[in-house]
Structures are given as structure tokens and as C-alpha cells.
Chain A
């Protein structure tokens, strides 16, 4: 089975440009998470969705960041305008709800390595 698929794998762009990161979760998974990883701040949760509905976006750094999940098989994370401090690895992960009180593991994609010049 295909895992979580992210694109692009690498993105280098100039500050001020719009950046769009894409994610396809594992089929059947009803939770989708966006993380950012940097040396300084570690692995941070930005936003997550349940059944395509955003549940918690408190980790989104500022209004320049936005995320959408138009359907169960696709999500985007957009940065507009981008800044050098947005440079990081962005991971998408998905998981399956398996009943109240139980927790399934999160399955991560390979990430997008973003560099803003």
C-alpha cells in the first residue's frame, strides 16, 4: 500500500513568493496532520484535520500560513508570502481513528524540504 505522499520533495524559492505544499494521506485515514521540523524548534504541529475539517490550527505561525483539505485524499499547506525563516522540513502525516480512547500511530510522508532565499 502507498504511504503518505508529499510533493514536492524539495522546494527552493525566493522570499515573497507563494509556496504550496501538497499531501495525499493513506487511503481510509480520517486524520491528517501538518508538521514543521527545524533544528531550533524541533517537530511542531501546525494544524490537523479530522474528516477534512480543521480541528486545531493553533500551531499555525501566522496569517501567512493557510491549510486546506478539500477532500479526503488531498491537502495543501500554503505560505504567502514566504520568508527565509519559513525554511524547514514540512511533514504531512495521517492516522486512522479506531474508537474513543484508542490511538493509532501517525504515518509520516517523506517531507518537503523548503528553502526560502
Chain B
């Protein structure tokens, strides 16, 4: 089945530095959803990208969908300790009654105060 590769696996940054995680696929992605999981918590939906080249912003977070819909990125500007957690991208499979997500491996972000 389709695999979604996510890099890096781990990232340590100093508070105030920027952070980016990348999601790549060898085949065209339909839609991309991004989730955040705090340590000990559960995945929480952040955003969905649908269109080629789409860019969406949520405060300090910027989400981008590649022109070929084979990659996506999440960029956090000026990280804060509250940004700590694992960020997952997920390919959305939607056809008929089929509705499922294929999650990337996630990027675990540590923010050092």
C-alpha cells in the first residue's frame, strides 16, 4: 500500500528557533491531514490540505501542499515549549464508503527552554 515517509524522525530546537517537518510520497496524495500528539496524549487534528500548492496558516504554523501533491510540510516559526510533541501527516483515502488515514512515522519535536 501507499507509504508516507516523514522526516526528520526527531528534532531538537532551542526555544525561539524555527522547525520544519516534511512528508513525502512516491505517489500522488489525495488529501493530507496533519495531527499533533503531545507526550502521553492522543493525536489531535490540526489541518487538512486539499489543493495542489495550497498554503494554510494557523498562527505560527504554516502548512504547505506540494504542487505535484507528492509532498507536504509543516513549518513552525519561533517555537515555544508548548509546541513539544509528535507531528504526523496522514494521507487521506476516500472512495465510496472507504475513509481511512495512512499515517507517516511522525516527527518528534523537543523544544529546549
Q: Please tell me if A70 contacts chain B, counting CB pairs below 8 Å.
A: no
- A contacts with B, residue count (CB < 8 A): 23
Within 78-113 of B, Cβ neighbours of A (below 8 Å) are at: 88, 92, 94, 97-103, 105-106
Q: Please tell me if A107 contacts chain B, counting CB pairs below 8 Å.
A: yes
Which of A13-21, A42-50, A80-88 participates in binding chain B? A42-50
Contact call A50/B99, Cβ cutoff below 8 A: yes
Which DSSP category, helix, strand, loop or mixed, fits chain B's interface?
Answer: strand
Q: Please tell me if A61 contacts chain B, counting CB pairs below 8 Å.
A: no
In the bound complex, residues from chain A placing their C-beta under 8 Å from that of B43 are: 43, 91, 93, 106, 108
Q: Please tell me if B31 contacts chain A, counting CB pairs below 8 Å.
A: yes
In the bound complex, residues from chain B placing their C-beta under 8 Å from that of A48 are: 99-100
